[in-house]
Amino acid sequence: MTIVRLGYVAMSMELKNASPSKTMTFSQFQKYRDREAAISKLEQITLANLENTHRLLKHNMFSEIHFYRLTSRLIPLANHEDLPDWDFMIPSIKEKLNEIGEFTRKHNMRIDFHADHFVILNSSKPEVLINSLKTLNMHYLLLKEMQIDPTHRCVLHIGGNYKDTEKSLERFINNWNDVPSSIQKMIILENDDTSFTFEDTLYLCEKLKVPLVFDYHHHLAHHRNKKWEDNWSRAVATWGESPVPIKMHISSPKNEAEFRHHSDYVDVNMFFHFLREIKGTVSQIDCMIEAKKKDEALFFLIDEIKKRKDVEMIDGSSFYLK
């Protein structure tokens, strides 16, 4: 039987006043007459984000959720070009990161990141590549400070298509040589809904030996061959050397007219159309829910799953496919 574990992204709809993505714009930063006071405010916001992350993880533990995506906005203005001297790894922040890591290890939780849209490794502009690497390095440092193995912990899209898929894929490969090996090991690649199909992403993943995160909704929105099942075994094989189970993304279209947009919840029938095809091909698959209602969508989906006869529940977010 295949074990399925559900996770959700960053924010909770159930836990109030617990945003891990509080921020400060650079314009707000500049309004402070005292630079030290402005830096202190950034540090306070960061600590509040980390404290709320810890609260969210406790919420997950009590709800028996073992899979969670950290927000990439834990550190406001990290790596901002006009703040090159700000070292956000102060003792209090390090201590909080260590607490978060210790908590996830104690409760056997899988946590990871998804880099923001401006992280583009196949850009032809050197400054974009440099800034992308700085941002990815921040993710790496956060995981290391949590004492979590960064291997395969950060999802990334391939980047821009620039109206030439083949050249854009080759540029990614060329730029990959400039990516430090520690960052390379952290990255996993996802097919997207407009530029790079499942097959495009698989080509890169096999060539560079990077795991592929299959986004089922994205595939339905953008594909050459709709029969993703033809290449599923190849996608699974990209995870062969990974220390973590295979991962996929699940979401549902908002409606037919806005097919690419995520719905508030996940359509259980759409989800099980996928699960029926992959049953038995992997021992475990971790499914990240990308729905507008976050953990509420997870709880709603679990309630729907509990009504089915083709599953055996394990706990609040995990089940066996019969």
Phi, psi of 201 (to 5 degrees): -65, -40
Look at residue 303 and tell me whether its pLDDT is greater than 90. Answer: yes
Instruction: Please report the pLDDT score of residue 81 as a whole number.
Output: 87
Q: Tell me the whole-structure pTM to 2 decimals.
A: 0.96
Structure tokens at 138: 């921040």
The single-letter code of the amino acid at 312 is E
Neighbour tally for 279: CB within 10 Å: 17
CA distance 265 to 300: 8
Handedness of CA 43, 49, 55, 57 (dihedral sign): negative
Where residue 34 falls among pLDDT bands split at 50, 70, 90? Answer: very high
pLDDT digits (tens, 9 = 90+) for 229-282: 999 999 999 999 999 999 999 999 999 999 999 999 999 999 999 999 999 999
pLDDT digits (tens, 9 = 90+) for 191-234: 999 999 999 999 999 999 999 999 999 999 999 989 999 999 99
Instruction: Please report the pLDDT score of residue 37 as a whole number.
Output: 93
Structure tokens at 278: 């992959």
